[in-house]
Homo-oligomer: A and B are copies of this chain.
Amino acid sequence: MRGVIMHAPGDVRVEDREDPTVIEPTDAVIRLTATCICGSDLWPYRGVEPVDHTLMGHEYVGVVEEIGSAVQTLQVGDFVVGSFVVSDNTCEICRAGFQSKCVHAEFVAGTIGTQAQKARIPHADGTLVATPGQPDPELIPSLLAASDVLGTGWFAAVAAEAGPGKTVAVVGDGAVGLMAVLAAKELGAERIIAMSRHPQRQELARFYGATDVVEERGEEGVAKIKELTGGLGAHSVVEAVGTQESFMQAVGATRGGGHLGYVGVNYDVQIPGIELFFAGIHTLGGPAPVRRFLPELVQLIWDRRIDPGKVFDLTLPLEEAAEGYRAMDERRATKVLLTL
């Protein structure tokens, strides 16, 4: 089969890779219908994270082609959406809703690599969710978004306790930030402030439910959020950038006793303990337990109540993956869908 391998920073190639097969009885092999490039794939691309002939890709939708003898909830031919972290969905941590910290957790990125024609998914019952039937082609982008960016933005909004009566500020206008806006809206937030200085993304944020846009950043951004919230700060803040400045902007924008949900942090961020302490806020972050939300998100998409697929603004065939990486690196695209 064909699949993406990143040989070194900036060096993305589509090459022949061995076809995956069922190894463990809990495995499934899927034939991908679509996959995509994640903002986090740019970290190794830019040399911020190590990379050496790495199998790329961790977002995926597709059709089950083969299942192991222990797989119970899936059948060959099912259309499935999967999480970017493998989980058994039965252990104590999974049952508490933190599937990304499952005792069998394994990142799909790097070892499995779903920017490919096929993928072997371990713990298939606990990682994949079947759609109610074969989806219309127009639903594919949205279902694919559920695999990571939607699931991650949704988790961030839940972690920030977005809900009725709440003012939610979203730091970051990338795909995850936009999905957090969508989630905050669905969760019933009263006011949603998108922090963005990019006209097209501001427009998409408003489409997804943002009621206000703040262009200022850093301390000025914090001051603006306070001005909009009677001096108190937002009840709920989502951090979806992951730099030192954006993280501290998110901390500063959260009111005392408020909730900060953060879903991306790069390796250089150092949080001054004393600033977090005197902020007096709740935080919850980490790789999103997408599997917790997948059944609900799939249904919302199936019922056409949400349209997360609009975050994809460039579609390319898998064979042109290298151009997809370039487009995202150069910010010509927010998120690139790869067809198969």
Contact = CB atoms under 8 A, between A and B. Distances in A.
Given A277-B265, A280-B285, A283-B282, A93 B272 contact: no
Interface in A116-131: none
A270 B272 contact: yes
Interface residues of A, number: 41
B274 A285 contact: no
Interface string A211-254: 00000000000000000001110000000001010010000000
A246 to B, nearest CB: 11
B267 A270 contact: no
Interface in A266-285: 266-274, 276-285
State the main secondary structure of chain A at its contact with B.
mixed
Contact of A271 (B276, B278, B279, B284): B276
16 contacts: A92-B230, A93-B255, A93-B256, A100-B280, A101-B255, A101-B256, A103-B231, A269-B272, A270-B271, A277-B285, A278-B287, A280-B287, A280-B289, A281-B284, A281-B286, A283-B283
Interface of A: 92-93, 96-98, 100-101, 103, 230-232, 242, 244, 247, 255-257, 262, 265-274, 276-287, 289
Given A278-B287, A283-B283, 17 more contacts: A93-B232, A93-B255, A93-B256, A96-B257, A97-B257, A98-B257, A98-B280, A244-B273, A265-B277, A266-B273, A268-B273, A269-B272, A269-B273, A269-B274, A270-B270, A270-B273, A271-B272
